[in-house]
Chains A and B, each alone.
Chain A
Amino acid sequence: MTLDGKVPSGPIEQAWDKTRFEMKLVNPANKRRHTVLVVGSGLAGASAAATLGELGYNIKCFCFQDSPRRAHSIAAQGGINAAKNYQNDGDSVYRLFYDTVKGGDFRAREANVYRLAQISVNIIDQCVAQGVPFAREYGGTLTNRSFGGAQVSRTFYARGQTGQQLLLGAYQALERQVNAGTVRMFPRTEMLDLIVIDGKARGIVTRNLVTGTIDIHIGDAVILASGGYGNVYYLSTNAKGSNVTASWRAHKRGALFANPCYTQIHPTCIPVSGDYQSKLTLMSESLRNDGRIWVPKQKGDKRPPSQIPEDERDYYLERKYPSFGNLVPRDVASRNAKYVCDEGRGVGETGLGVYLDFADAIKRLGEQKIRERYGNLFDMYQRITDEDPYKVPMRIYPAIHYTMGGLWVDYYLQSTIPGLFVLGEANFSDHGANRLGASALMQGLSDGYFIIPYTLGNYLASTKLEKVSESHPEARNVEVAVKESIRKLLSIKGKRTVDSFHRELGKIMWDYCGMSRTAKGLETAIQKIRALREEYWQNVNVPGSGDDLNQSLEKAGRVADFFELGELMCIDARDRNESCGGHFREEYQTPDGEAQRDDEHYSYVAAWEYRGPGNQPELHKEPLEFKYVHPSQRS
């Protein structure tokens, strides 16, 4: 199989315009004859379903939540980037493109990133017109902030709830189409398999989470916008329901999975407080601007922080990276927190935490100033931990919060299965090995509002689609397979709960395929995952039946897929003998502990093909070319 990214020829600045012109159009009168299935209702899914509905397509949109408004995009805090240059501070489409390619550590496809930067400006216009209440200046214009170390202020935000407001905008546009009759919404419905007929994606099989009914939905194309897979680690900042099932089952039907090992870890989350912990809460990274990070010099020093004298504290980031200090990049901050905790110098009850201390900043600026800057974050911290960060240092620890890998797509956002398109975090395309802050929202909306409406039309207009019904033998086969896997999960009736397996899998992933990885560790992880997966299929206890709301059964199917994905992530991480972005292999680092890329051998997208249960997946490479932004070592 040759992977053709279908990158347009000619100058990158004109690539998208040229492509838009060259793409075929669907006659307006014919659009309603095309049924398109959209899986997921987050920023990418809701914006795609709404826009395609506006164009006149017949849309069916599916989400596992009780309402499309609850998709996890809603939890994004910081903001959304756009190259508006409203601040007149030197931003441009080219600069956003440049920053994103460089930030992705030269592992993204240039043409996709350029298009993303171009479209960013339209997104802001669209959202404002929908009534998204972005922050404003007194004069009435939009305000911006600089985010994640960017040198220009290009981030638009709505308090700390930007994701919520953007999602509600897309959700409202979606509900408008529901009212108009172009979109039919299926909440509490989970996609469990993909139907491929004559080599094209023609439908999905779903489970109605209330009645347990297994249904076949046939369409002319399938759009997956089902989010990322961070929950393979059990503990992450993702919502509890976020899962890889839709993507994974499409993968098993022939869609290649690209760069699964690229995961992003956020250094400032509230640490785990006990075994019962169900998820991790992110604290804005801006806290590192004024907080100082330290741990005791002594191993196992259990004294309260106030009783540890200055000379017995190790401000390890300031010591190791004197020029950056506490503002080292996310991955460096995260890894170093892990190292000091591994040495037994972590703080808090579990020993998995480091102090983020504001005492000096409060002394320097006064408590009032700190309250103005971080008041809401301090309140949130106090609500969760019951500790007052104005008086005692915060405790923080890194956590998984985004996955850059996902199903492989070409420039048209089409996977290796014709008719299967993948949008948002579920695809791999724009962030390379590391995503910049405030870029996830931009990508989800760019894919949904502005790219898929064109590329889907092109596919439908240029593809001959046979008439297919729900009773097609292949659809029936898939339905039978889904029913069989549910029956199997319910019939094991072993001794361990789904969560106990998920937690154990998460720990393996975190220990061996987390912040820093080694070939040996990854090999161990693969063996452990295989053994645990074997136990899962013999000893998991899924109570209840498949005929009603059964949350254990929902989780059981998702965890089964996480096992297989987890193994592929380790295989991919082991195969990539370099460090880049969020993928850090201890064997490949610079003398200062920075990620050491190997452009000569690894400047490619690793896209994995499923080869059946128990077989090694097959690696396909899409070489990456950098014609505009020349690879340099990230500083």
Chain B
Amino acid sequence: MKLTLKIWRQKNTNEKGRFVSYTVDNVNPDMSMLECLDVLNETLIERGEEPVAFEHDCREGICGSCGFMINGIPHGPMPATTVCQLTMRHFKDGQELTIEPWRASAFPLIKDLVVDRRSFDRIIASGGYISINTGNAPDANSIPVGKDIADKAMDAAACIGCGACVAACPNASAALFTGAKIAHLSILPQGQPERDRRALQMVAQMNAENFGGCTNIGECTAACPKEIPLEVIATMNRDFIRGSWKERDSTVRTITPMTEWSTGSKLDIDPHATS
């Protein structure tokens, strides 16, 4: 197969980017999309040009590193498939593919197809956990959890944090990502003590980042490689409203978003910020 790849090239956050077209001959239909980029990069290096920077690691669809838009669709045309598992046989010989990074102001671009997703880490840091120090746990079977509950929690917990939901959303909302973690933990009995505060904190952090609001369009769940259901957003909204009443006297702290890379992720916590 022969393909034309129209790829977004941008040297760094500050410089302007542009599309550059490359022709890749000898595309094997069994290759993954990322292996196709590998082949292109080898040619570019041999020609003395800079290879295309793209994020990737496990290449089996679980680490969440990879992801970009192919012809306007996050992770390309196949449902429940990340670009590392997307094989080229789904494209036609001679086709042109437009490849661009996730576009969202909460995901500042670093280089070419690589974006900064630390906003997701901050959402988790703001409350996406059960506060239990090591050594504190009771016997694992002391709290029974029904199979249906465990399965539901697992459905939400399957999120890989790739960011496709944000990229798919016309508002660039992170509601599916945030809702998935809130739903995972609020379904389980272990997650109950912090349920209200967790929702308040995480939603406040989501709002403090540059994500847009959710208007229930549903593009996120359609693009999600792990098929996280839209109902996690309803769970988030319910817990947020519940928490807004029950925790009305608590202070909500948010973590200041940072875009610098020079100093590691030093946290500047602003105690005055509230939801």
B28 to chain A: which residues have CB within 8 Å? 273-274, 276
Contact between chains at A158 and B124 (CB < 8 Å): no
Q: How far is the CA of A60 from the CA of B263 in the complex (A)?
A: 12
Decide: B147 and A136 in contact? CB cutoff 8 A: yes
Hey, which chain A residues are within 8 Å of B132, CB to CB? 126, 129-130, 173
Indicate if the CB atoms of B51 and A551 lie closer than 8 Å.
yes
Interface centre among A51, A139, A240 (most CB of B within 10 A): A240
Nearest-neighbor residue (CB-CB) of B187 within chain A:
A133
B-facing mask of A40-72, CB < 8 A → 1, else 0?
000000010011001000001000011111101
B162 nearest CB neighbor, chain A only: A70
- Interchain CB contact under 8 A, B64 and A69: yes
Task: Verify if A328 is at the interface (C-beta below 8 Å from B).
Answer: no
0/1 string, A138-179, CB within 8 A of B gives 1: 111110000000000000001101001100100111011011
- Chain A residue nearest to B39 (CB atoms) is A276
Contact A383 B153, beta carbon cutoff 8 Å: no
**In this assembly, does B242 line the interface, its C-beta being within 8 Å of a C-beta of chain A?**
no
Alpha-carbon gap, A386 to B86, bound state (A): 11
A274 & B63 in contact (Cβ 8 Å cutoff): no
CB of B42, distance to nearest CB on chain A (Å): 5
Q: Is the interface of B mostly helix, strand, loop or mixed?
A: loop
Q: Which one of A67, A125, A278, A450 lies within 8 Å of B34 (CB-CB)?
A: A278
Complex: A158 Cα to B154 Cα, angstroms: 8
Q: How many A-B residue pairs have CB under 8 A?
A: 243
Considering residues B134, B139, B144, B191, which has the most beta carbons from chain A within 10 angstroms of its beta carbon? Answer: B134
Within 8 A of A (CB), among B115-170: 116-118, 120-121, 124-141, 143-147, 149-151, 153-154, 157-158, 160-161
Among B111, B140, B255, B266, point to the contact of A184 (Cβ < 8 A). B266
Tell me the bound Cα distance from A66 to B130 in angstroms: 23
Of the listed residues A127, A179, A210, A239, the one surrounded by the most CB atoms of chain B closer than 10 A to its CB is A179
Counting CB contacts under 8 A, is B85 at the interface?
Answer: yes
**Known A129-B138, A385-B30; contact A136-B150, beta-carbon cutoff 8 A:** yes
Complex CA–CA separation, A133 to B148 (angstroms): 11
A-contact bits for B31-55, CB 8 A (1 contact / 0 none): 1101110110010011011110101
Which chain A residue shows the least CB distance to B144? A140
B185 CB–A CB distance under 8 Å: yes
Residues of B within 8 A of A383 (CB): 81, 85, 87
B2 contacts partner chain A, Cβ-Cβ < 8 Å: no
Docked CA distance A161–B155 (Å)? 11
Instruction: Using CB atoms, name the residue of chain B closest to A206.
Output: B264
Nearest residue in A to B112 (C-beta to C-beta)? A549
Q: Kindly report which residue of chain B lies nearest to residue A181, judged by CB atoms.
A: B267
Instruction: Please name the residue on chain A nearest to B124 by beta carbon.
Output: A175
CB of A134 within 8 Å of the partner chain = yes
B53–A549 touching, CB < 8 Å = yes
Q: Is A281's CB under 8 angstroms from B60's CB?
A: yes
- Chain B contacts with A in 163-193, Cβ cutoff 8 A: 184-185, 188, 190-191
B62 at the interface (CB under 8 A from A): yes
| A residues in contact with B120, CB < 8 Å | 67
B65 at the interface (CB under 8 A from A): yes
Cβ-based interface call for B228 (8 A): no
A208 and B262 within 8 A (CB): yes
For chain A, which range describes its interface: under 10, 10 to 19, 20 to 34, or 35 or more residues? 35 or more
B56 to chain A, nearest CB (A): 6
- CB proximity of A228 to chain B, nearest CB, Å: 14
CB distance from B5 to the nearest CB of A (A): 15
Cβ of B110 under 8 Å from chain A: yes
Chain A residues with Cβ below 8 Å from B134 are: 47, 50-51, 54, 126, 173, 449-450, 453
8 Å CB interface, A104-151 against B: 122, 124-131, 133-142
Flag if A185 contacts B264 (CB, 8 Å): yes
Q: Counting CB contacts under 8 A, is B217 at the interface?
A: no
| Set of chain B residues within 8 Å of A184, measured between Cβ atoms | 264-267
Q: Smallest CB-CB separation from A76: which chain B residue?
A: B62
> In the complex, are the beta carbons of A175 and B128 less than 8 A apart?
yes
Q: Given the interface contacts A386-B89, A497-B45, does A172 sit within 8 Å of B129 by beta carbon?
A: yes
The number of chain B residues with a CB under 8 A from chain A is: 87
Contacting residue for A210 out of B64, B110, B131, CB 8 A? B110
Q: Which residues of B contact A276 (CB under 8 A)?
A: 28, 31, 35-36, 38-39
Residue on B nearest A274 in the bound complex, by CB: B28
- Stretch from A27-35, A186-194, A425-433, A573-581 that touches the partner: A186-194
What's the least CB distance linking A328 to chain B, in Å? 26
**CB contact between B51 and one of A161, A273, A552 (< 8 Å): that residue:** A552
**Chain A positions 539-553 with a Cβ under 8 Å from a chain B Cβ:** 541, 543-544, 548-549, 551-552
A66 touches B116 (CB 8 A): yes
Contact between B264 and A186 (Cβ–Cβ < 8 Å)? yes
Interface membership of B114, Cβ < 8 A: yes
Contact between chains at A548 and B147 (CB < 8 Å): no
The distance in angstroms between the C-alpha atoms of A129 and B185, with both chains bound, is 11
In chain A, what residue has the closest Cβ to B80?
A383
Select from chain A the residue with minimum beta-carbon distance to B45: A497
* Contacts A175-B125, A176-B125, A499-B38 given; does A239 touch B58 at CB 8 Å: yes
Q: How far is the CA of A541 from the CA of B42 in the complex (A)?
A: 11
Chain B's closest residue to A541 (CB) is B45
Smallest distance from the beta carbon of A272 to chain B beta carbons, Å? 10
B12 within 8 A of A: yes
Q: What does the 1/0 interface line of A207-251 toward B look like (CB < 8 Å)?
A: 010110100000000000000000000000001110000000000
A178 to B122, CA, bound (A): 9
For B118, list chain A residues within 8 Å (CB).
Answer: 66-67, 187
The interface residues of chain A lying within 8 Å CB-to-CB of B121 are: 67-69, 175, 178, 185, 187
How far apart sit A172 and B153, CA to CA, in the bound complex (Å)? 15
Indicate which residue in B31, B35, B39, B58 contacts A72 across the interface (CB closer than 8 Å).
B58
Given contacts A131-B153, A278-B59, are A140 and B45 in contact (CB under 8 A)? Answer: no
Judging by beta carbons under 8 Å apart, are A179 and B267 in contact? yes
Q: Determine the chain B residues whose CB is within 8 A of the CB of A172 once the complex forms.
A: 124, 128-130
Q: Is the CB of B184 within 8 A of A133?
A: yes
Q: A176-B129, A384-B85 are in contact. Are A240 and B56 (CB under 8 A)?
A: yes
Shortest Cβ gap from A357 to chain B (Å): 21
Tell me the complex Cα distance, A178–B266, Å: 9
Q: When the two chains form the complex, which single residue of B48, B56, B130 contacts A130, counting CB atoms closer than 8 Å?
A: B130
What is the minimal beta-carbon distance from B104 to any residue of chain A, in angstroms? 15
B81: chain A residues at CB < 8 Å are 383
Residues of B within 8 A of A171 (CB): 124
List residues of chain A with CB within 8 A of the CB of B85: 383-384
In the complex, per-residue mask of A354-395: 1 if CB is within 8 Å of any chain B CB, else 0: 000000000000000000000000000001111000000000
A172 to B53, CA, bound (A): 28
By a CB distance below 8 angstroms, the chain B residues around A70 are 57-58, 63-65, 161
Q: Are A131 and B137 in contact (CB under 8 A)?
A: no
Chain B hits for A51, CB < 8 A: 133-134
> Which residues of A sit under 8 angstroms from B191, Cβ to Cβ?
131
Asked whether any CB of chain B lies closer than 8 Å to the CB of A483, the reply is no
Q: Beta-carbon contacts of A507-550 to B below 8 Å, as 1s and 0s?
A: 00000000000000000000000000000000001011000110
Instruction: Please indicate which of the listed interface residues A276, A385, A386, A499 has the most CB atoms of chain B within 10 Å of its own CB.
Output: A276
Name 8 extra pairs, CB < 8 A, besides A69-B121, A141-B141, A384-B87.
Answer: A128-B190, A159-B154, A184-B267, A239-B57, A277-B35, A279-B59, A453-B134, A552-B51
Q: List 24 A-B contacts (CB under 8 A).
A: A51-B134, A66-B55, A67-B117, A67-B120, A70-B161, A72-B58, A129-B137, A131-B130, A131-B157, A131-B190, A135-B150, A137-B147, A141-B144, A164-B62, A173-B134, A176-B125, A184-B266, A187-B118, A239-B63, A240-B57, A276-B36, A276-B39, A383-B81, A551-B53
Question: What 10 pairs between A and B have smallest CB-CB spacing?
Answer: A140-B144, A172-B129, A129-B137, A186-B264, A125-B137, A175-B125, A210-B261, A133-B153, A128-B140, A136-B150
